[in-house]
Chains A and B, each alone.
Chain A
Amino acid sequence: MQQWDLMAKTFENEYVEKARGEGKKVIGYGCLATPREIIEAAGLYPYRIKALGNLDKDLADAYLSKFNCGFCRSCLHLVLDGTYDFLDGIVETNGCDHLRGMFENWQYAHSTDFFHYLRVPHENNADTLAWFSEELVLLKEALSTHYEVAIEDRDLIAAMELEEDAAAKIKMIYESRWDEEIKITGSEVISLLVLKESLPTQQYLQILDSFIEEMDTREPLQCRARLFMGGSATDEIDLMAELESLGGLMIADSFCFGGRIFRDKVEVSGSAIPQLASIYLDNLLCPRMFEEYQCRKSFAMEMIARSRADGAILFQNKFCDLHGIENVMLRTDLEKEGIPVLVLEKEYGTRADTGRLKTRVQAFLERIGK
């Protein structure tokens, strides 16, 4: 296992430790809709909350219920057992009802010094773009006031430019799997993207550069089937590796710790906040966004076509309403286009479930003649 891969699977990584040692504050956020550029522009360390397939949920179960998604319960357990004590502040988002519940219990049972609620609209139109821009201004002001830092437009633009560089490099790595020779597994891509959300962008870019160099020297991977995957938030890197060990490689995806970050580079110009709002809202390929299903469907279709995927596997964490319903729509539409689809419901972070999932995937590979 390489150093970056290990770091992706660590909560308090060496960069976090170093930053804290230097007196830098670490701000946690829970959803891809949070513009981490604002946190970086404030001179703070942005860190996306993850659970990495953590099995334990019992501390969280004293607050959340068994009817709440396992990912959120796992995250809350990690908060309550002290794993996340390195976070100095939290930015809540209304990603979904489970996530809101997780944040509210976090605040209730284990509050942090700084807590800000960033409201993200559920639609994308001129009115909601204006609303989201104002929300970003409120976030900027809250950080600025609490940490007594000025967030200048030029700092924000610099952070946005770095983020755009990262997006462009990720896209290059992501697309490299669409060649005949595949040199990176899907679980490695997830790992790289989990890492992206755990590091300052500057440091992440350095890791990406060395990874690209190293990737070029690799031998092509054996591939039994080319698979598109999508569904509920998953940072279960090991689970993905287990499933890929059956020979079906994930060569494209629409996960939120994954392909949802895939987008064309934007040339940053003009006023930062409205542009940032637009970048985030326009590219938020999450089923929480209403009136946007056709975009998500087109994204999946395009990924499948460009990557020449043999089939699609759609995951949903038990009790995930957004993906649970979305997957029925997507499965129906993909099957209409002749794309074989497997829908898998899973309990987040439960290794006892791995065998069942592998059997289903193996049967699917056989069904599609691979």
Chain B
Amino acid sequence: MIVMNENSAMPGEGLFERVHSTFQMLSILPEEISEDQLNEILKLLPSGNIDAARFMLAPSRWEVSRTSLLSIYTWLEEARSAKEEGRKVILVPFNFPPEIIHAFENASPITSEVMSTLAAGMLESGGEEYWDYAMGLGLPDHLCSGNTIELASILAGADLKPDVIISATPGGCDVNAKIHEFVSNRINIPQLLLEKPTYDTNSRRGKEIYYKNFRRLVKNLEEITGETLKEENLRRVAEKANQASELYYDLWELRKRRPSPIPGSSAFLAYGMRFSMWGRDEAVESMKKILEVSIRNSKDGDYNAREEVARLFWVYLPFYYDGYEYNEWLEMNDVANIGDALLLFYPQVIDTSSYDSMMEGFAESAWNMGMTRQMGAGSMSMQWTEDIIAAVKEFHIDFAIYCGHHSCKQTWSAFTILRNEIKKRTGVPVLCLQGDSWIGRMTPMSAILDEMSLFLKNVVIPARKRKERSESKEG
């Protein structure tokens, strides 16, 4: 039952608990769900949850979703029981590699953006009441909802309270670094910084500074947890991270095929693992399952978009609410969703030969995390452009979409350059949308899909036909 906390205009129950309860319910569902069973399950759910459940539990998707959902459930359980078991809860942003926290015996990570995303997709309210609470504190309305929804739940005292916040965003994102500072001050917990010096991706100088920052962060974590990182624990997570990385690149190769055999939700599930359970068996199992289903789809000719009218890549984020409607649109229009920019974290195989080599490997992983790599580069517009163009070319993308979140001042300021360069260098058109990836009431999915339909009909399909005609003439 939702009760009001007497000290705040907030639901008394925090976002974490509510998401955890939902996962608890999902965790007991069988490996296979028939259409009839799905319909029975839907009858038990509040109306606001039905579309989210229909999206995840559909028999065609449940197989690939289930392993990831169970993995997330383990992640939530560990954070939930951390305090009781004497472990520290470390709140991390999505651009920090959680595997370094998994290497600690006395710590569990929780990722603010993953929590907000789960709320947006699974809670009846989408977690919007937490955003409203933040606004009630006087915070600006142009914050990142991906971060703020979960943080507001913490601020209200209604949620699992972290023991420390890691902010890996200075250098890559002001708004997130600043809200981390706000939360740290407000609930009186330490904020540990990992600044990205805004140097080019291959800059030796930039990496030297960053690796030093990374080492200092780990030292601070050791002091807070009272635990010195053991080499064997580092090796354990590094080996698991390496396995997941190999699977990531296997999937990368399959993603190039046309038609795409990769399930539409695979990018989301893969980076969901990257931001939560990377370095653990659970992430490896999830990645294996996505790969297994993709290979089978490829053999069976079972594609999400059978004719594959167009291949879509989101140059930034997609929308995390109303996944069912979005997916219906993809199927109806025969469009293959290939992925989005959060997939572009380019994991490297970590050299496990020594403590130092592993620390360097983890620091390198952190350096390449999504957003850090692009927005924390010497030129955010150029690095973002290079990464997107590489993806557009490798994945044979027909059109791209930028969903401009009002919070994301860096991408908004770099978008014109990105769009011009993509068009100039690949010919691929980019649709610019305004909307909040986590809050549906800012821009309803119906409005987004209307714009996508117009763009597909008036720009993408004619362009593809022109290209085909010109290829057939040449042929």
Question: Given A290-B191, A321-B142, are A68 and B409 neighbors across the interface (CB < 8 Å)?
Answer: yes
Cβ of B412 under 8 Å from chain A:
yes
Contact of B140 among A63, A96, A287, A324 (CB under 8 A): A324
Cβ of B317 under 8 Å from chain A:
no
Cβ of A102 under 8 Å from chain B:
yes
Residue contact B185 to A329, C-beta cutoff 8 Å: yes
Residue contact A325 to B179, C-beta cutoff 8 Å: yes
Residue contact B139 to A65, C-beta cutoff 8 Å: no
Cβ of B417 under 8 Å from chain A:
yes
Cβ of B149 under 8 Å from chain A:
no
**A318→B413 CA distance, assembly (Å):** 15
Contact of B193 among A62, A69, A122, A343 (CB under 8 A): A122
Residue contact B412 to A321, C-beta cutoff 8 Å: no
Question: Given A291-B191, A328-B182, are A100 and B413 neighbors across the interface (CB < 8 Å)?
Answer: yes
Chain A residue at minimum C-beta to C-beta distance from B186: A329
Cβ of B230 under 8 Å from chain A:
no
Residue contact B195 to A123, C-beta cutoff 8 Å: yes
**A292→B212 CA distance, assembly (Å):** 21
**Which residues on the B side are within 8 Å of A325 (C-beta)?**
139-140, 143, 175, 178-179, 181-182
Interface residues in A40-95 (C-beta closer than 8 Å to B): 62-65, 67-69, 72, 94
Residue contact A321 to B417, C-beta cutoff 8 Å: no
> How many residues of chain A have a CB within 8 Å of chain B?
45
Residue contact A97 to B174, C-beta cutoff 8 Å: yes
Interface residues in A98-155 (C-beta closer than 8 Å to B): 98, 100-102, 104-105, 107-108, 117, 119, 121-123, 127-128, 131
Contact of A105 among B212, B410, B417 (CB under 8 A): B417
Cβ of B466 under 8 Å from chain A:
no
Residue contact A290 to B199, C-beta cutoff 8 Å: no
Residue contact A64 to B193, C-beta cutoff 8 Å: no
**A329→B155 CA distance, assembly (Å):** 13
Residue contact B409 to A290, C-beta cutoff 8 Å: no
Contact of B178 among A94, A119, A326, A345 (CB under 8 A): A326
- Give A149 Cβ to nearest chain B Cβ, in Å: 24
Scoring B residues 254 to 266 as 1 if CB is less than 8 Å from chain A, else 0, what string do you get?
Answer: 0000000000000
**Which residues on the A side are within 8 Å of B175 (C-beta)?**
97, 321, 325
Residue contact B406 to A67, C-beta cutoff 8 Å: yes
Cβ of A185 under 8 Å from chain B:
no
Selecting from B29-37, B70-78, B374-382, B447-455, the interface stretch reads: B374-382
Cβ of A299 under 8 Å from chain B:
no
**Which residues on the A side are within 8 Å of B379 (C-beta)?**
104, 107
**Which residues on the B side are within 8 Å of A123 (C-beta)?**
170, 193, 195
**Which residues on the B side are within 8 Å of A343 (C-beta)?**
138
Which of A63, A68, A107, A117: most chain B CB closer than 10 A? A63
Chain A residue at minimum C-beta to C-beta distance from B216: A127
**Which residues on the B side are within 8 Å of A25 (C-beta)?**
none
Residue contact B415 to A65, C-beta cutoff 8 Å: yes
**Which residues on the A side are within 8 Å of B173 (C-beta)?**
97
Cβ of A196 under 8 Å from chain B:
no
Can you list 30 pairs linking A and B with CB atoms under 8 Å apart?
A62-B416, A63-B417, A64-B412, A65-B413, A67-B406, A67-B412, A68-B413, A97-B173, A97-B375, A97-B413, A101-B380, A101-B410, A104-B381, A104-B382, A104-B414, A104-B417, A105-B417, A127-B212, A287-B178, A290-B167, A290-B193, A293-B181, A319-B142, A319-B409, A321-B140, A321-B143, A321-B174, A321-B409, A325-B140, A343-B138
